[in-house]
Chain A
Amino acid sequence: MNNTPHVVVVGGGSTGVGIARDAAMRGFEVTLVEKGNLTHGTTGRMHGLLHSGGRYAVSDQESARECIEENMILREIATHCVEDTGGLFVKRPEDTEEYYQEKLEGLRACSIPATELTAAEARAREPYLAKDIDKAIEVPDGAIDPFRLCVANAKSAQNHGARVETFSEVTDLLVEDGEIVGVEVTHESGSGNHVHGVEGAVEEIRADHVVNAAGAWTGELAAMADIDVEVRPSKGVMTIMNVRQVDTVINRCKPKGDADIVVPHETTAILGTTDEEVSDPAEYPEEQWEVDLMIEELGKLVPILEDARTIRSFWGVRPLYEPPDTGTDDPTDITRQFFLLDHDERDDRPGMTTIVGGKLTTYRLMAEQLVDHLAEKFGIEAACRTAEEPLPGSEDEGAIEAAMNEFGLRSPIGKRSAERLGSRTADVLDTDEPNPVVCGCEAVTRAEVQDAIEESGSNLNAVRIRTRASMGNCQGGFCSHRMANELHPDYDERQARTALDELYQERWKGQRHALWGEQLGQAMITYAMHALTMNRDRDPAATEDSLDFGAFDAGPSTEARTTADESAGIATDGGEEGTHGD
């Protein structure tokens, strides 16, 4: 009998990886299973805001306080995932003074640093703000890269002995004598990294405790053990611009509403959002009016957005939860708090705890409380260390500087690599091989792509979220096939082709919501490159029928070989410039 308790965490979003890390650091044996890529659900589809808490300072002060505390912690432990952009709450003339004052008081009540700015001061900081704004409040909002954050947590969990399985869906909960004793997992391609073409497998993983951190899918998982957890998924759109029109998070200073925030994120700015309850977190309409609303409404804060180029839109689903019988109708009224449901206490069904609700900014706190709960259950005394111990990539603040100096990384490309890799820069970029740029828009080099492939297998969407390759203006048009080439020869041509097809379709999905003006032109260029030039749309290698190659032109040299004499080399060369000298 193994005396280390084994915890299976279901869900590879920020909450799941946060729990896996914390539990592994406190000595649990941990297995994390995720049905898609890390960040597959809500985490990969958020606007990248590191909340100061300001958005909740009037309506939900408990959440607001949690946010500001966690905000300060993440700046320390996840430096390479956070950009300190600062944030503004901007008041337009039609927004009430009363709410502005409430906001100011709320911020102070929650200990969120707040500075009032005049319109001129706000516009000096962000020149593209509308000329007719009244004033603004400055708060410590930031931008956070959810992909990098999740990958770093998962990596840390692994470093502490955890097993992390992606593309491994829980297809059943194992229940014995009324107790949950493990999960049945269907691996899409065997255990370990996701590799195309490797046959799937079903595995039963027995556990001392199961943690349900499945986000929007929490209810589905609980139902496998006849437990009722009603998650109320609510969708929201985010529209990505081709450049950063602002370098500060811009919030509209008015009560909750749609289309009230712009978050600068890497090379882009992300507009958000809407809040609409949906019945199925996987299947819901992505609607044109939502995109139009973002541009029109946020144009009132930042007018150049009206004519700017958007490169794609995506939707996320908030896994909102409220205790039974609360009975809130409007999803915007449902609390953003998180809940910990011990199913032994709640449903007389021991062996599983669910964590639901909450937000990315507080993922670490959620994980801490959940693991505190487990520790108490299993009599483990180790304290939580995740608030102090930096994530991989953020261990050494000087490391980025040192690595940039060592690798001569003063170029814009090297600088961006170092910003993404943080203290891992030296490890990843220390290669004797040539290191060309694979993705030009985001300045991602071969070494980074290869590092991501090593970590994640043949899945190029997993490479994308680790590196940002294919996330820039061309949306993979110029680089998706280059990324696929990097899979070879570790993976075979067929696997590389399948991975490319998946990435290409994934990139197309979001672009469809940005197809007008320049981005429509870009989409046509991409379509022409991949269909006209490469013939990827009618690839004979992808069809069952074999092609009658003999019916087609085999070239002038073949003509010459078959119809005239066989003397070497005739007519293979058009001779267009006369002879060569040697």
Chain B
Amino acid sequence: MAIDSDVLVIGGGIAGISSALAARQAGADVRLVSEAETTLHHASGLLDVLGYHPNAAGEGPVVDPFDAIADLPDSHPYAIVGESAVRDGLALLDDALGEAYQGSYTDANALVPTHGGTVKPTARYPASVAAGLASDDREMVLVDFERLTGFDAGVAADHLAAAGIPADTSAATVEFPIVVRDDAKVTRYAHLLDENPTVTVEGRERRVRAALADAIEPHVGDAERVGFPAVLGVDHPAEIRAELQDRLDAAIFEVPMGPPSVPGLRLEDRLYAALDDAGGRIEAGGGPIVGFDATEGTISEVYLDRSGSPIPYAADQYVLATGDVAGGGIDSDREGVTEPIFGCHVPHPTDRYEWFDEAAFGDHDFAEFGVVIDEMLRPVAETGDPEFSNLRAAGAVIGGYDYPAEKSASGVSIATGYAAGRQAAREA
């Protein structure tokens, strides 16, 4: 007997969760299956929509990403689902994330300082990032920790100044109050701030957060805001920021980092909690999909590997949200590029030396590898006909757009996930 649902979503990233939430919202019985670790761990935790026009190298960032959708080529996923799906999808995520995310009160993009030191346009950002936006003219001091090699406050402060942000920037390096291992992960710092244990500093018993504030305080000066690498707690971020804000008398913000990314982990936790609350069934940490049955172009079952045994999962509708070449949703070898679960058509040049550009940040074909979808989001064969009547694609498994260049990764996942989930629920 197969495990049954109306809608089966394959993939646990933002696209998969958005699909599942949308399908649940539309009343379907939804199950989401995913492998061990999603790429959310790598992602910065920002929810972008569109930061730059594709094919407009040299142009500055887009101010209003919704406005820009009308100018996109017809093949772009946003053009296929339309502006309303982008807005509705974001609204669904806004509801799921509540006050933990900001940016919904305006259509304008925000420019967020990145750990590389420049700024990145995004439509939504974690509340922890809000006080750090580059358009805010309050003086900032950036803080880094001696042992954390991924973020150098001095480099970031000078880089932000070079980018011309309207705020004065300065930097300070401090020792984290508890000597962590020289090569401790960012999550170790986050957990110490969550737990807030007592440490002895110069003969005084202090809690970690208080001791950290003590170390930073001499560097704050006239600055009205203090920026940290994004390690301010996995479980209690707001509480940690509030305490540091009180002690330092300055607004506190995080500079997103990655990977591993603490804001990405928080986002993952919140989205899974929202899906759970909405009544979606989640099977994370399962094995890969190893096969499927289909008759006359309709999928009847897929098989999920569990400790070497194929377990059948049946559904009326399927959503493929397995990601791109980075996430394993698209596979390749020296001969060509494939979609490994259902064998959907993935257009690509036959010569693999045409898959990339000579320049590291050039126009890479591989960044756009993915399935081609029709207006119903169904992957289509080379002929243009749907591969299967009941399979839709969502997120980066869809090809035809270069999300690192456009800064559109989350937005496309949310919009296509929303559209695919809703349509799947309607037909289930």
Q: Which residues from 419 to 471 on chain A have a C-beta closer than 8 Å to any C-beta of chain B?
A: 433-438, 445-446
Report yes or no: A527 in contact with B364, Cβ–Cβ below 8 A: yes
> Does B405 have its Cβ within 8 Å of any Cβ on chain A?
yes
Q: Which residues of the other chain, B, contact A93 by a CB distance below 8 angstroms?
A: none
Q: Is the CB of B259 within 8 A of A529?
A: yes
A436 with B182: CB separation less than 8 A? yes
Instruction: Using CB atoms, name the residue of chain A closest to B239.
Output: A580
Give the residues in chain B near A120, CB-CB below 8 Å: none
Given contacts A527-B361, A578-B239, 19 further A-B contacts (CB under 8 A): A413-B183, A434-B146, A481-B150, A488-B154, A504-B360, A516-B332, A517-B331, A521-B328, A532-B407, A535-B51, A540-B118, A552-B110, A552-B121, A553-B109, A555-B132, A556-B102, A559-B105, A573-B245, A578-B238
CB distance from A2 to the nearest CB of B (A): 45
Interface set, chain A 515-548, CB cutoff 8 A to B: 515-517, 520-521, 523-525, 527-541, 543, 545-548
Pair A527/B404 contact, Cβ less than 8 Å: yes
Q: Kindly list chain B residues whose C-beta atoms are within 8 Å of the C-beta of A520.
A: 325, 332, 355, 366
Which of B23-31, B158-166, B282-290 is near enough to bind chain A? B158-166
Is B98 on the interface with A (CB-CB < 8 A)?
Answer: yes
Docked complex Cα distance between A176 and B218 (Å)? 65
Q: Is the CB of B98 within 8 A of A536?
A: no
Interface pairs (23), CB distance under 8 Å: A413-B183, A434-B146, A436-B148, A436-B149, A437-B149, A437-B183, A481-B115, A488-B152, A493-B159, A504-B360, A524-B324, A527-B361, A532-B404, A534-B118, A536-B116, A539-B116, A541-B164, A547-B60, A556-B102, A558-B133, A573-B252, A576-B237, A577-B237
Q: In the bound complex, do residue A575 and residue B333 qualify as a contact, i.e. CB atoms below 8 Å apart?
A: no
* CB <8 Å contact, B333 and A485: no
A111 interfacial contact with B, CB 8 Å: no
Given contacts A516-B332, A524-B324, A573-B127, contact A505 B42 (CB under 8 A): no
Q: Is the CB of B333 within 8 A of A517?
A: yes
Q: Are A569 and B245 in contact (CB under 8 A)?
A: yes
Residue of A nearest to B98 (CB): A576
Interface assignment of A288: CB less than 8 Å from any CB of chain B: yes
Task: Indicate the member of B105, B120, B154 with the most A CB atoms within 10 Å.
Answer: B120
What is the CA–CA distance of A199 and B277 in the complex, to the nearest angstrom?
62
User: Which residue on A lies nearest to B259, using beta carbons?
Assistant: A529
Determine if A582 is an interface residue (Cβ-Cβ < 8 Å). Answer: yes
Q: Mark B234-264, 1 if CB is under 8 A from A, else 0.
A: 0011111111011000011000101100000
Cβ of B118 to closest chain A Cβ, rounded Å: 4
Q: Which residues on B sit within 8 Å (CB–CB) of A379?
A: none
Residue in B117, B118, B182, B246 whose beta carbon sits within 8 Å of that of A582 in the complex: B246
CB distance from B334 to the nearest CB of A (A): 5
Taking CB atoms, residues of chain B closer than 8 Å to A540 are: 60-61, 118-119, 163-164
* Best-surrounded residue of A435, A545, A579, A580 (most CB of chain B within 10 A): A580
Do A580 and B243 have beta carbons less than 8 Å apart? yes
Binding site for A on B (CB under 8 A): 42-44, 51-52, 58, 60-61, 63, 98-103, 105-106, 108-111, 114-121, 127-128, 130-137, 146-152, 154-155, 158-159, 162-166, 182-183, 236-243, 245-246, 251-252, 256, 258-259, 324-328, 331-334, 351-353, 355-356, 358-361, 364, 366-367, 403-405, 407, 409
Task: Tell me if A1 is interfacial: C-beta within 8 Å of chain B.
Answer: no
Against B, the Cβ 8 Å flags (1 = close, 0 = not) of A545-578 are: 1111111111111110000000001001111111
Select from chain B the residue with minimum beta-carbon distance to A486: B149
Task: Provide the residues of chain B in CB contact with A577, threshold 8 Å.
Answer: 236-239
Given contacts A496-B155, A517-B331, A535-B114, contact A580 B63 (CB under 8 A): no
CB contacts between A and B, total, < 8 Å: 268
What's the least CB distance linking A458 to chain B, in Å?
Answer: 13
Asked if A415 lies at the interface with its beta carbon under 8 angstroms from chain B, I say: no
CA distance A556 to B104 in the complex (A): 10
Shortest distance between the CB of B197 and any CB in chain A (Å) = 15
Measured CB to CB, the nearest residue on chain A to B99 is A574
Cα of A50 to Cα of B108 in the assembled complex, Å? 61
Whether A575 contacts B118 by the Cβ 8 Å rule is no
CB distance from B21 to the nearest CB of A (A): 19
Given the known interface contacts A493-B155, A508-B360, A540-B163, the answer about A481 and B116 at a Cβ–Cβ threshold of 8 Å is yes
Complex: how many Å from CA A574 to CA B130?
A: 9
A323 adjacent to chain B (CB < 8 Å): no
Question: Taking the nearest CB of chain A, how far is it from the CB of B66, in angstroms?
Answer: 13
Once the chains are docked, how many angstroms separate the CA of A488 from the CA of B151?
11
Check if A512 is an interface residue, CB within 8 A of chain B.
yes
A324 close to B (CB within 8 Å): no
On whether A574 and B102 interact (CB within 8 A), knowing A533-B44, A541-B162, the answer reads: yes
Residue of B nearest to A525 (CB): B326
User: In the assembled complex, which residues on chain A have CB atoms less than 8 Å from the CB atom of B137?
Assistant: 554
Q: Complex: how many Å from CA A512 to CA B359?
A: 10
Interface centre among B43, B51, B239 (most CB of A within 10 A): B239
Contact present for A556 and B105 (CB under 8 Å):
yes
